[in-house]
Amino acid sequence: MSDRLLDIRDLSVEFGPVARPLRVVDRVSFSIDAGKTLGIVGESGSGKSMTALSVLRLVPEPPARISGQILFDGRDLLKVPRRNMPAIRGKDIGMIFQEPMASLNPLMSIGDQIAEAIMLHESMSADRRRERVLDLLRLVGLPDPEGRLGAYPDQFSGGMRQRVMAAIAMACNPRLLIADEPTTALDVTIQAQVLEMMLDIRRRFNSAILLITHDLGVVAEVCERVVVMYAGKVVEDADVGSLFANALHPYTQGLLRSVPSLTDTRKRLYQIPGSVPPARTIKAGCPFRPRCPARMDRCAVEMPPLVPYAPGHRAACWAVSKEMAE
């Protein structure tokens, strides 16, 4: 029996007219096994969050057009009627959204918000529900959970709000947890606590985690595999050790060179020139070509396929050779 929990195949998300679509996610494929963590990395505008939102069918259709397959435990979520998706969100798949202050209701206490998530999917008495809320707050490490049940989001720090979001996401012990930039704008101490909390949740419930981030340090710490996205496409896909030891795509190499060094503080921090192009400006060829130090004429007219260069390590670049992968 396969342990594969989430299997995304050729996922595309388009906006605009059919004749001239803006494709913000372009034939993305990857999978996650139960109990494992996969990271998706890339700059803003790479399509990371749109991919995550598509898994939960939170991208409005229309105006979006979504194609491909999103197989969750063998069931294609794109074929599930939209009216049935709320039964899956929160129960089978939980999500920690990117900005907790914008995601939490400022007019509801945090206790009521967590209880509401439980009420949607579980049948239990008010007393049992209150105990469940307290258990969740203890699980995510929130200080004085009983004293904070009636508190409101604006009374909490960013790290504490992120913990509340995690409690809501884990309210019904989902089998898949999607975390969209869960450590953004948090200081390093709180970042470490949030990451440890997520790993503890994974250990307790054997949940899979899909981690959306731009921080390669976070990926190195908590993920087994990593998908690198650029302009809506997957440009590299590998286990974490292989990627950090031998990144193949020039974009991935640039991201790794951009990570500050603790040993050589005098070295000037590398910066990839330019920025991710808007979807409407992408034509034929490889979208990274204008910023790529290894570009060649072929890159302007033909997008390289994502192909394996080593076991479990794929890249989409004409400049990559078998010799580089060895």
Question: Integer distance in angstroms from the first to the last C-alpha of the chain?
Answer: 32
Q: Where are the domains of the chain?
A: 248-326
Contacts of 261 (CB under 8 A, 6+ apart): 267
Amino acid 2: pLDDT: 59
Amino acid 1: pLDDT: 46
Q: At what angle do helices 126-139 and 188-205 cross, to 10 degrees?
A: 130
Count of CB atoms situated within 10 Å of the CB of 291: 17
Count of CB atoms situated within 10 Å of the CB of 156: 19
Please check whether residue 70 is in contact with residue 76, taking contact to mean a CB–CB distance below 8 angstroms: yes
Q: Point out the residues of the chain with pLDDT beneath 70.
A: 1-2, 100-101, 185-186, 261-266, 321-326
The burial of 3, by beta-carbon neighbours within 10 Å (0-12 exposed, 13-18 middle, 19 or more buried), is given as exposed
37-41/225-230 β-pairing: parallel
Asked whether the whole model's pTM tops 0.75, one would answer yes
Q: Tens digits of per-residue pLDDT, 86-114? A: 889 888 898 888 776 678 889 999 999 99
Count of CB atoms situated within 10 Å of the CB of 125: 8
What sections of 122-208 are H helices per DSSP?
Answer: 126-139, 145-148, 158-169, 188-205
> What distance in Å separates the CA atoms of residue 134 and residue 136, rounded to the nearest whole number?
5
Phi, psi of 94 (to 5 degrees): -105, 155
